[in-house]
Structure 1
C-alpha cells in the first residue's frame, strides 16, 4: 500500500511509537502529517538551514518488510532525479540506523483530494490544473520514470501569490483551484523504464488505487504498463474534477477493478450538463482502454488542453454513442453488424457472437441513468429479478417454433437480450407485401394458435403478440419471439409501447404501431399479471394486420393511438378494401373485445373456429 503524501498542515500530537523511530540527525520533529502501512510523514525543521520540511521515515513492523523498504528506496531514487516546478522537490535522501529517510519540500495547501472534497470544479480551472500536471509528468517520462499511482491525494497544492497569467477575461474568478499550483508527490510505485525489472513489479501484483488505475495496470499486465498508464490516471483525475466523482467507483475494490476493465466511462456531460464537449473529448481520450488510443505523450495532452483553453480546435475526436455500444458489445464477444429494428425504448441489431461467429439478433434497451455506488439500482434489480422468474417459466418450454433468449445482461447502463436471428424477417413483410389469399392467412393463424396453445398448457403467457414478433423460418414457418417479460420490462419513463422488434422502422412510427397492437389490459397497472385473454387479443391483432394491412388502431401520435385502444371498437378488417368471409370478420373482432372475458375463453376455441372456416374456403 503506498504511503500518504505530506498533505496535512498544522500541529498534531506525535504517535506513541514515535520514540522508536530513528530520527536522522539534524532534524527536529514538529508534528505528524500522515502515515501508511510502512511510512510516516512528519513536519520537521532542518536545523542546518532553519527551514520547515516534510520528513518521511520508514516505520518498523510487519507491514514494512524488505519489499516495502525497497519501494521506499525506489521512491527516493525516482524523486531525487526529478527537478520540475510541478513535482515535489527532494532536499535530501539517506539512511539512519539502517532505515531510509526522505526529506522533501513542505507544501502548504494540502492535497487536491482535500480541497475539492468530491465537488465538481469549473471546467477551465480543471483543464489548467491537469495541463500543469501533464507537463510535470512529461518531465518524469523524459527521465524514463512512470508514476503509476497518480490520484487526487498525491497531488499537493502550493499556494500562489498571484493568479496564473493564463487566465482569460471570461474565466471563473471564484475557483479555489486557481489559488494553487499543483505538485505531484509520492513516487512510491514509480517504475523506471531504463532499469531492469525487479521482483517488485514482475509478480503481476496489482499496485495502485483502483479508481485511477489504467486497465493494463488493473489487470496486472506489468510489462504493458508504460507512460500511457499515467495519462489514464490524469484523465481519471480530470473526470473527477468535472463530475465530482471518478469514472469508476464500485462498492468494493474488486468491483471497481471490474468496472475499469470491462465498462466504458459515462461521458462527463451525463453527470454535469455544462461540461464543454471538447474538454469531455480530451478526458475520454485519456480514458481509452487501449493505451494506443490515448495521447501519445503527456506533452500532447498538455498541448490539447492548451488548445481548449485558447478556444482552438482540439486533436481529440469525440466518441459517438454507437461506437461506445459497439465497443461494449465487442468486449463481451458480440460484434454488432447492422441495425434491423428501432423503437423509442430499444434497438435491434443483427450481430455475430462467439468464436464461431453465430448470427444472432440483439435487442438493446435505452441507457439507464447511472447511480452512485451504495444507492442501489432498483431498475437493474427489477429487470434481473423478472428475467430470472421468466427464465424459470421458459425453462419448461421446448418447441421448435418458440424463440427464447439465449442470454441477457448489461453493457454499461444498457440492458440487452440475445435472441436467434431470423434471416427471413417477420410477418411484417407479409403485412406490407401483396395481400395473401385468405386461406394462407388462416393457415398462418392456425399455426400460431397451436404455438400459443402449447405455451398456455405450460403456464406461460406471451403477452406481446403482433406481426413484428412473429419471425419467419424457411418456408414461411412462423416462430414466436419477444415475450412480454423481455419487451415489457420498462425502465424509468419507458412506456409499454417502447419496444422494438426486427423489421420495425423509425422510433415514432414503431411506437405508434406497438401502441395500436396492445391489449387494453396492458394499458392498466403494469404490475398486474396478464391472463390468457391477452394472447387471444394478440392473435386477433396479427389476424387483423394480415387481412387489413395495418394494426386495429392507428392514431397520429402514441397517446392518440393508446386512447383509441382504450375507448374505441375497431372496424372490421374487411373495411379496408379486402373481401373476406363474414365469419373471419366476426372471429377477428371477437378476439379484439375490450373485456377479456368476452373474447374466446381459450385459444383452443379460436383454433376450432378457424379450422371450421378453413374447411369452407
Structure 2
C-alpha cells in the first residue's frame, strides 16, 4: 500500500473537479477520503459527493472497497438508507454521488442531555427496518455505529443508514464473487460495535453480526455507555426504562450468534410492542390475519409469564418470611476470602488499562494505569474502570460478590510483592436494599480485597479491607493450611495494603506506607518452594469485593528471582565492611590525647615571659 499523505485530505478542491457537479463545501472527512456538499447541475439539486483519498486511489484494495460501497448502495432502495445517484472517476481519484442528508449523525443525538425513550425506539425501528431490507437484498453492513446513521431534518428527523464500505454480500447474491474483499480470519469494523465472531473472522460473519451491532447502539442510546464485558441491564443504568428492554438488548448482545435473534424481523417484532403506533414512519398497512393471531398469542404468553413471575415472587417472600420467623440457629458466615473465591458463575473476559514490564530477573504487572490492555477474568458482580481505578459499583440482588483475576502466565520467581490502595464504602440506602435488609437481616459490611490466587481458585491468600475503623484481615487457604489473623484498624478513606513473600517463603502483610506502615500480626512461614502451595501454576493477582462499593487503585504485582547461591557470599562481607572502619576511627581519637599535654608546657612559658 502506498504511504498516505496526511495533508492530502485537507487540500482544497476545485469546485468543478467533477463534470456535471459543483462542489460547494467540505462537510466531512476521514481516513478514506472526504464528503462535499455539491449541486448536480443537470437537475439543480443538492447532493453529497464522496471523494476517495488520491493516495488511496492508487491502491487496488481501496479502489475495490470504494466500488463495493457503490454496488451495495445500488442494490438498495429504501427510505431509511442513503441512496446513490452516480459514481465515476477523475484523473486523480474516484467518487460517489449520493443523496444529501441535511442533519446530524446519531452520535450527536446520543450525546444530548435528555433522553426521549419513545423517540429513540421509533428511530431504532427505522434503523432495524433498513437493515432488515438490506439483509433481504443479500447485503450485510458490518460497520453499524452511531457515526454511520444520519438524521434527515428535512424529512422530520428520520434515520438513514450510510457508509456501506465494509458491507459483504451473501453467498446467493450476484456481486459476491466480484467484491469479496475480506480475507478469512481478518477483523474489519469498529471494535466497540463488532460482534465477537466478527473480531475473529469478518469474512464468515453473517447477518447476526449486524444484530449484535444494533444491540450495542440501542444500549448506548438508552444508557449513554457502550456495553463492555459484564454489563448491567439498561433499566438498572437508567431510571424509568421499561424492563422489557433488558431482555431485548441482552438477546442482541449474546456472545454466541445462535443465542441472538435469528433475524432482524424478530427483533423488530419485540421492539414494536414497546412503541405505540410504531408503524407510523411507514405507509399504513393493514395487519394480516396471521400477524394478528401472532400478536394475540404473544400477548397471552406475556400475561401468563407475568402472572407466573408474580406467583414465584410471592412464594419466595413466603419462604424468606418463614426462615426469618424461625427460632433456628444462626447460619455460619463464610469468611470473606472464601466468599470471594467461591464459584460466582461463568467468567467473562475483559481488558483493562495497565502495563507489563519484563526484565531478566524481574517482572511487574500494574493494573489501572498504563498504555497496554491487560487480560482479565471477571466473575460475579459487574466491574468498570474509572480514572485508572477498578470499580465494583453497588448492586442489588443476589450477586453481591465480585472478583477480577489477571489472566497472565509465566510470572515465576522466588520473591513476590503485591500492593494496592483500597477503599470500601457502604452502598447508599434504597427501597430495594431496605426490603432485602428487612427479610435477610443487615447486610454484611463492605469488604475489598487483594489476593494471590492459585490455579484452581481453591488456594489463595487474601488481604482484606473491612472499612474504616475495622481491623485489616489476613486470610489464607493453602493445601490443608487455613487461618485468619487480624491486624490494626484501617484508616479513614483509602487503605494501602501490601503482601510480601521472600525467597525463604516467609509471607508478611502490611497496612499503610512509608513510616506509617505497620505489620499485620505475625509472619507465615510457607517454606522454600512456597509457590507450590498454590497449585501447578504460580499464583496470579486478583481483587474482590463484597457488598457496597469497592475501589482499587495502583494494583502492582512484582515477582523476581532470588540471587544465585554463588552470589550470596559477598553480600554479608559488603554489609560488614562499612562497620570495620568505624571502630578504627573511633579508637584513633582515644590515642590522640597524650601528645597534646607535651605541647602545652612548651606554649606556657611565653605567656609568663616578658614582652619584647
Give the TM-score of the pair, scaled to structure 1.
Answer: 0.50
The residue number in structure 1 matching 2:225 is 245
Among 86, 110, 120, the alignment partner of 1:116 is 110
| Pairing 1:275–2:252 present | no
Q: Unpaired runs of 5+ in structure 1?
A: 2-13, 162-178, 249-262, 319-339, 355-362, 397-412, 423-470, 472-480, 503-513, 536-557, 559-617
- Counterpart of 1:253 in structure 2 is none
Corresponding residue number in structure 2 for 1:367: 381
Contact 1:118 / 1:245 at 8 angstroms: preserved in 2?
A: no
Q: How far apart are 1:284 and its partner, in Å?
A: 1.8
Cα distance change on mapping 1:264 and 1:197 into 2, 3 Å = farther
Q: How does 1:194-213 map to 2 (within 5 A)?
A: 194=173, 195-196=176-177, 200-202=181-183, 204-213=185-194
Tell me if structure 1 keeps the 8 A contact 2:82–2:99. yes
Is the contact between residue 41 and residue 54 of structure 1 (CA under 8 Å) also seen in structure 2?
Answer: yes
Q: Distance in 1 between matches of 2:54 and 2:121?
A: 41
CA deviations 1:60-92 (Å, max 9, x no partner) are 114752111111110001101101111011222
Partners of 2:80 and 2:146 in 1: CA distance: 14
State the distance in 1 between where 2:116 and 2:474 align: 38
Task: Measure how far apart 1:140 and its partner are.
Answer: 0.2
Please say if 1:302 is aligned against 2:291.
no
Matches within 5 A, 1:584-599: none
| Shift, 1:231, TM fit | 0.8
Cα deviation digits, residues 19-51 of structure 1 (max 9, x gap): 3x9833211111111122332211111111111
* Cα-to-partner distance string for 1:157-198 (whole Å, 9 max, x where unaligned): 01266xxxxxxxxxxxxxxxxx51100001011101121375
Q: Counterpart in 2 of 1:154?
A: 148
Asked if structure 1 preserves the Cα contact closer than 8 Å seen for 2:470 and 2:490, the reply is: no
Could you tell me how far 1:205 is from its partner in structure 2? 3.1
Deviations 1:365-416 (A, max 9, x none): 76365234xx211569x9999x99x9988869xxxxxxxxxxxxxxxx9998
Q: For residues 11 and 461 of structure 2, what CA distance do their matches in structure 1 show? A: 67
The alpha-carbon deviation at position 16 of structure 1 amounts to 3.2
| Shift in Å, 1:500 | 12
Q: How many residues align?
A: 369
2:342 aligned to which of 341, 346, 349: 349
Tell whether 2:202 aligns with 1:222: yes
Deviations 1:299-319 (A, max 9, x none): 11111101223596779x99x
**Aligned equivalents of 1:369 and 1:22: distance in 2?**
55
Q: Deviations over 1:471-524 (max 9, x none)?
A: 9xxxxxxxxx65442xx156999996899999xxxxxxxxxxx9xx87474577
- Describe the SS at the equivalent of 2:188: coil
Query: Paired residue for 1:139?
Result: 133
SS of the aligned residue for 1:70 comes to: helix
1:376 and 2:342 are equivalent in the alignment: no
What residue in structure 2 maps to residue 532 of structure 1? Answer: 521
Q: Which has the larger radius of gyration?
A: 2
Contact 1:367 1:414 in 2 (8 A): no
List aligned pairs for 1:305-320, cutoff 5 A: 305-309=271-275
Task: Check the 8 A contact 1:31/1:42 in 2, yes or no.
Answer: yes
Partner of 1:85: 79
Alignment match, 2:67: 73
Aligned counterpart in structure 1 of residue 169 of structure 2, from 192, 197, 204: 192
3-state SS of paired residue (1:349): coil
Q: What does residue range 437-586 of structure 1 map to in structure 2 within 5 Å?
A: 483-485=461-463, 488-489=464-465, 519=486, 521-522=488-489, 527-528=511-512, 529-532=518-521
Deviation at 1:206, TM superposition (A): 2.1
Report the counterpart of residue 18 of structure 1 in structure 2.
13
2:6 corresponding residue in structure 1: none
Give, in angstroms, the shift of residue 147 of structure 1: 0.5
Retained in 2: the 8 A contact 1:39–1:56?
yes
SS of 1:82's equivalent in the other structure is coil
Q: How does 1:281-292 map to 2 (within 5 A)?
A: 281-292=247-258
Distance 1:395 1:153 in 2: 47
**Contact preservation (8 Å) 1:22, 1:96:** no
Q: Which runs of 5+ in 2 are unaligned?
A: 2-8, 277-297, 307-331, 348-376, 393-402, 418-447, 496-510, 513-517, 525-546, 548-612
**8 Å CA contact retained: 1:348, 1:501:** no
1 CA distance for matches of 2:37 and 2:52?
Answer: 15
**Superposed CA offset, 1:229-251 (max 9, x none):** 11111111111111212224xxx
Corresponding residue SS for 1:264 = coil
- Alpha-carbon distance in structure 1 between the residues aligned to 2:64 and 2:218: 31
Three-state SS of the structure 2 residue aligned to 1:183 is strand
Q: Distance in 2 between matches of 1:39 and 1:501?
A: 60
Is contact 2:16–2:22 with CA below 8 Å preserved after alignment?
no
Shift of 1:94: 3.4
Q: Secondary structure at the match of 1:16?
A: coil
Distance 1:42 1:120 in 2: 31
**How far apart, CA to CA, are the structure 1 residues paired with 2:51 and 2:216?**
30
**Where does residue 310 of structure 2 map in the other structure?**
none
Alignment of 1:594-609 (within 5 A): none
Whichever structure has more strand as a proportion of its residues is 2
Q: Secondary structure at the match of 2:385?
A: coil
CA–CA separation in structure 1 for the residues paired with 2:344 and 2:390 = 29
Distance 1:151 1:522, change over 3 A: same
Structure 1 partner of 2:34: 40
How far residue 276 of structure 1 moved from its aligned partner, in angstroms, is 2.5
Paired with 1:295 and 1:494, the residues of 2 have a C-alpha distance of 49
Residue of structure 1 in register with 2:54 after alignment: 60
The residue matched to 2:227 in structure 1 has which SS?
A: coil
What RMSD over aligned residues (CA atoms) do the two structures have, in Å? 4.9
> Where does residue 128 of structure 1 map in the other structure?
122
Partner SS state of residue 70, structure 2: helix
Change (3 A) 1:288 1:416: farther
Moved more, 343-352 or 294-303: 343-352
Matches of residues 367-446 of structure 1 in structure 2 within 5 Å?
Answer: 367=381, 369-372=383-386, 375-377=387-389, 418-419=453-454
Q: Which residue does the alignment assign to 1:105?
A: 99
Deviation per CA, 1:98-149: give whole Å up to 9, x if none.
Answer: 8432221111112111333375633332222211111110000000000111
Q: Is the 8 A contact 1:365 1:415 kept in 2?
A: no
